[in-house]
Amino acid sequence: MNLSFRALALSASFLMTVQTAAAQPAKDMPASAPSDQTAWTILEDLTTEVGQRLAGSPREAAARDWAVARLKALGFANVRSEPFTITAFVRGAETARLTAPYPQPLHITALGNSVPTPKGGLTAEMVYFPSLDALKAAPAGSLSGKIAYIDNQMRAYQDGSGYGPYGNARRQGAAIASTKGALATVIRSAGTDHNRDPHTGGTNFPAGTKAIPAGAVSAPDADLIARIAARGKPMTVALVLEGYPQPNAPSGNVIADLPGRDPSLPPILLGCHLDSWDLGTGAIDDGAGCAIITAAALRAQQDGKTLRTIRLLWAGSEELGGFGGEAYAKAHAGEPHALAMESDSGADRVWRVQLGLAESNKAVADKVSAALAPLGIVKGQGKPQGGTDVEPIIAAQKLAVIDLDQDATRYFDLHHTPDDTLDKVDPAQLEQNVAAWTAVLKVVANEAGPLSGAN
Amino acid sequence: MNLSFRALALSASFLMTVQTAAAQPAKDMPASAPSDQTAWTILEDLTTEVGQRLAGSPREAAARDWAVARLKALGFANVRSEPFTITAFVRGAETARLTAPYPQPLHITALGNSVPTPKGGLTAEMVYFPSLDALKAAPAGSLSGKIAYIDNQMRAYQDGSGYGPYGNARRQGAAIASTKGALATVIRSAGTDHNRDPHTGGTNFPAGTKAIPAGAVSAPDADLIARIAARGKPMTVALVLEGYPQPNAPSGNVIADLPGRDPSLPPILLGCHLDSWDLGTGAIDDGAGCAIITAAALRAQQDGKTLRTIRLLWAGSEELGGFGGEAYAKAHAGEPHALAMESDSGADRVWRVQLGLAESNKAVADKVSAALAPLGIVKGQGKPQGGTDVEPIIAAQKLAVIDLDQDATRYFDLHHTPDDTLDKVDPAQLEQNVAAWTAVLKVVANEAGPLSGAN
């Protein structure tokens, strides 16, 4: 991508909008769909001017300042930062190398909540488990003085559903290995690519479990380890993972409103998260989500205020445990909300809508489906989730929820890696997201009657 | 790729061979083309047991020992290592970060022949040049105290021809910047991917030019720099590149023969290079080449000796300046050779043959073309080069040469990066290479008459 790309991207985005509007006029959208670069500009500027925004770090704080200034400049009202504190993760030096049977460097990254290796690192036998289930079956104490290695090849699916089961080695592996005496845990990255970049992400140590150093190696390194394991050769690894948890780190949510014509009606809540992992620049996770919901909110009110207020939640500290969503639900427990949605699966096109509305809102649901059909979005039969940042308020208030599911086929190639950068975003697909969100907002934010969740 | 991949790969390779043979019997190949895993096994074992083989390093020496043992085990004769010394490159710590206008880490790697930054690194203004030509046009002395940055987006072509012109920023940029007073040079990687991994490779400081630190950043980092340059903001970079040249480092070629029925006839010389850059494991550059030529030589003699001897040259120290090829030409100047070929563009399928044979050898050339046509290989009209490792002996002896051009469309996504690993090799395409080389060898190594170069 070169200097001329930005111009090219903008014109590509423009063309796509025009073509979509011309070929497939949406009933609930104006005949000449507005073509603006709001989403792309937010995303380009955020990834360029701020970059990584690790939860609880000074860069996340810089991102909050940036966000408040940008949302005010875009005309939002009541723009504010709502602070809270978290136990953050501070990344340190991280290296690994096989010292036996063959000397080979391994590309590794620490997982969030990992504790540091001893000064100078640790060198130990690494025991290969082909899966998390195999680790679970290891006898108690059998890993004393050893490093546990968990293989676990995640697969790519359009609906991203591989992340749940295959991600468990990352979420649970270190804690399980710890209970069996392991000194440290290394996993195959929870990802679907073949790049040499490992995927970070949080691991969890439940209360009572001793935290141990935990890291993930890239897919090619995991392939190497699997080949050596297949030869039956014992492996020794020299491991340095100096990252550590930091209690009482400052974080916060950024909240902004586009007031509606009737302030007495509960608002529509749109969520994304502002924090990102530190390896990349948080373009697809989740700068894109914040860019999409913000541009769509503005576009929904471009020709005049919607009936209901549209509220944005750019949440903090999603990656380390969904702290921003919990803080929002707690701080705003006393305010009624009408419906919540979240964008947090990248920037590729929306392919499916999942509707979580009460039977009494069937007419609203039908209008949403009809508004999305011209954009090539199919109605799914699953239960919408809403995303980590809005789930606590959805659960607390039993809110209506709509998921606009993005194509996740290549999302986990990039997720939590250094490769999460702006060049991975297709401006035309980003624009399709904005168009889809706008179409939904024009229905739900103009609905006068009560909106209720499915159950 | 998981544990079962090896088995899968082998069966895929087997199936491909059977299908090719069944669907498109080659006139000069046996009706049941032999299906063996020799190439895959060499490549898997070399990348697993040795890994990176940086020219002049202990790992290159380990690779020579491995190669001698493996070639003897495969039945080659006269297997020996022929030592020479080079000025090697020893990689050190390498980091870069923008400190202004925005704090952003940059993924960088040093180029071969770079000299180290001062102790503690250097921090300086970085001046953006959109191309090597723009740098050339900068006034003398205008870069004093500054870091030169050269942008230069390489494009992917099937014939790999982007590498010549777009690679010049890497080869020449640092020397040109040095003559204008630059403290250091950073370039956009000479590559065609969008991964966060920079591409290393050699840069050249002609005699009389002061060597300066030189590095390459990954494509996403280069995109970031281009975006900032487009905003007209001055950039400051903190640069640490501790790699340094090391004179008198031991290197060497590995040579092995499959004797022919008539030892008085000059041999067919097949080249590849054993050394690799240190960031990856040298799977496509050039473990694959050594695997292909070796498997093909064995397959060409599977049903009995060829008339002529087939000689393998697994050259050392190609990457830092073609030292192995020069050493071979010097050591073997007194021995006549019949024809030379090289495999050094990865492991993707051969799509074209370029024939460099004298007019008197037209019948041989026609037989080669006919033997390759069933494998989907077209005859090109260009002048074959032979590759860095055999070019010196070709030039010295005006040898006949045949190029089997591999599809290079994705080669420069991986070339000289940490991503040059075994998983990037498609076993079916590797097998097509072996089949193509075997087909050529069955013609040229059984040709009794003299073989001569085109001019």
pLDDT in tens, A57-105: 999 999 999 999 999 999 999 999 999 999 999 999 999 999 999 999 9
pLDDT tens-digit readout, A316-357? 999 999 999 999 999 999 999 999 999 999 999 999 999 999
For residue B426, the chain A residues in CB contact (below 8 A) are none
Nearest-CA distance B72 → chain A (Å): 21
Please indicate, yes or no, whether residues A142 and A261 belong to a single structural domain of this protein.
no
Closest partner residue to A104 (CB to CB) among B6, B51, B151 is B51
- What domain range is A71 assigned to? 38-87+247-444
Please indicate, yes or no, whether residues A299 and A348 belong to a single structural domain of this protein.
yes
pLDDT band at A13 (very low <50, low <70, confident <90, very high): very low
Please indicate, yes or no, whether residues B165 and B271 belong to a single structural domain of this protein.
no
Please indicate, yes or no, whether residues B238 and B251 belong to a single structural domain of this protein.
no
Q: Is B67 exposed, middle or buried (0-12, 13-18, 19+ CB in 10 A)?
A: buried
Per-residue confidence (pLDDT) for residue B425, from 0 to 100: 98
Per-residue confidence (pLDDT) for residue B406, from 0 to 100: 98
Burial B139-161 (b: 16+ CB within 10 A, else e): eeeebeebbbbbbbbbebeebbe
Please indicate, yes or no, whether residues B309 and B424 belong to a single structural domain of this protein.
yes
Interface with chain B: mutation pick from A227, A228, A281, A284, highest number of B CBs within 10 Å:
A227
Q: Does residue A20 belong to any structural domain of this protein?
A: no
Interface with chain A: mutation pick from B228, B421, B426, highest number of A CBs within 10 Å:
B421
Mean pLDDT of chain A: 93
Looking at residues A400-423, what average pLDDT do you find?
A: 98
Per-residue confidence (pLDDT) for residue A18, from 0 to 100: 32
For residue B51, the chain A residues in CB contact (below 8 A) are 102-105
Q: Cβ B1–A223 below 8 Å, yes or no?
A: yes
Q: Does residue B13 belong to any structural domain of this protein?
A: no
pLDDT band at A1 (very low <50, low <70, confident <90, very high): very low
Per-residue confidence (pLDDT) for residue A36, from 0 to 100: 84
Per-residue confidence (pLDDT) for residue A6, from 0 to 100: 36
Q: Does residue A29 belong to any structural domain of this protein?
A: no
Residue A421 scores a pLDDT above 60 = yes
Cβ-Cβ pairs closer than 8 A, A with B, add up to 123
Per-residue confidence (pLDDT) for residue A443, from 0 to 100: 98
pLDDT tens-digit readout, B348-381? 999 999 999 999 999 999 999 999 999 999 999 9
For residue B194, the chain A residues in CB contact (below 8 A) are 1, 419, 421, 423-424
Taking only Cα atoms into account, the Rg of chain B, rounded to an integer number of angstroms, comes to 23
Q: Does residue A263 belong to any structural domain of this protein?
A: yes
Q: Does residue A266 belong to any structural domain of this protein?
A: yes
The reply to whether A97 touches chain B by the CB within 8 Å rule is no
Answer with the one of A211, A242, A273 that is the final residue of a domain: A242
For A:151-170, CB contacts with B below 8 A are 151, 153
Looking at residues A200-216, what average pLDDT do you find?
A: 97
Per-residue confidence (pLDDT) for residue B2, from 0 to 100: 33
For residues A260 and B18, which has the higher predicted lDDT (pLDDT)? A260
CATH number, domain with residue A220: 3.50.30.30
Taking only Cα atoms into account, the Rg of chain A, rounded to an integer number of angstroms, comes to 23
pLDDT band at A35 (very low <50, low <70, confident <90, very high): low
CATH number, domain with residue B360: 3.40.630.10
Closest partner residue to A48 (CB to CB) among B3, B197, B227 is B227
Looking at residues A192-199, what average pLDDT do you find?
A: 97
Spatial CB neighbours of A78, under 8 Å, sequence gap ≥ 6: A255, A256, A257
> Helix B362-372 and helix B427-444: axis angle, to 10°?
150
Q: Cβ B196–A421 below 8 Å, yes or no?
A: yes
Q: Cβ B1–A153 below 8 Å, yes or no?
A: yes
Please indicate, yes or no, whether residues B199 and B231 belong to a single structural domain of this protein.
yes
Query: Count of domains in chain A?
Result: 2
Per-residue confidence (pLDDT) for residue A12, from 0 to 100: 36
Q: Considering chain A, what percentage of its residues have pLDDT values greater than 70?
A: 92
Residue A297 scores a pLDDT above 50 = yes
Please indicate, yes or no, whether residues A314 and A214 belong to a single structural domain of this protein.
no
Looking at residues A411-438, what average pLDDT do you find?
A: 98
Can you give the pTM of this predicted structure? 0.91
Please indicate, yes or no, whether residues B296 and B352 belong to a single structural domain of this protein.
yes
Closest partner residue to B230 (CB to CB) among A6, A219, A417 is A6
Please indicate, yes or no, whether residues B236 and B159 belong to a single structural domain of this protein.
yes
| Lowest-pLDDT choice from A158-167, A428-437, B18-27, B45-54 | B18-27
Residue A31 scores a pLDDT above 70 = no
Answer with the one of B192, B211, B242 that is the final residue of a domain: B242
Per-residue confidence (pLDDT) for residue B152, from 0 to 100: 85
If you measure CA to CA, which chain B residue comes closest to A45?
B227
Spatial CB neighbours of A7, under 8 Å, sequence gap ≥ 6: none
Do the Cβ atoms of A99 and A122 come closer than 8 Å? Answer: no
pLDDT beneath 70, residues of chain B:
1-35
Please indicate, yes or no, whether residues A299 and A357 belong to a single structural domain of this protein.
yes
Please indicate, yes or no, whether residues A308 and A180 belong to a single structural domain of this protein.
no
Answer with the one of A201, A218, A242 that is the final residue of a domain: A242
Please indicate, yes or no, whether residues A251 and A291 belong to a single structural domain of this protein.
yes
If you measure CA to CA, which chain B residue comes closest to A417?
B196
Looking at residues A198-220, what average pLDDT do you find?
A: 98
Q: Cβ B2–A107 below 8 Å, yes or no?
A: no
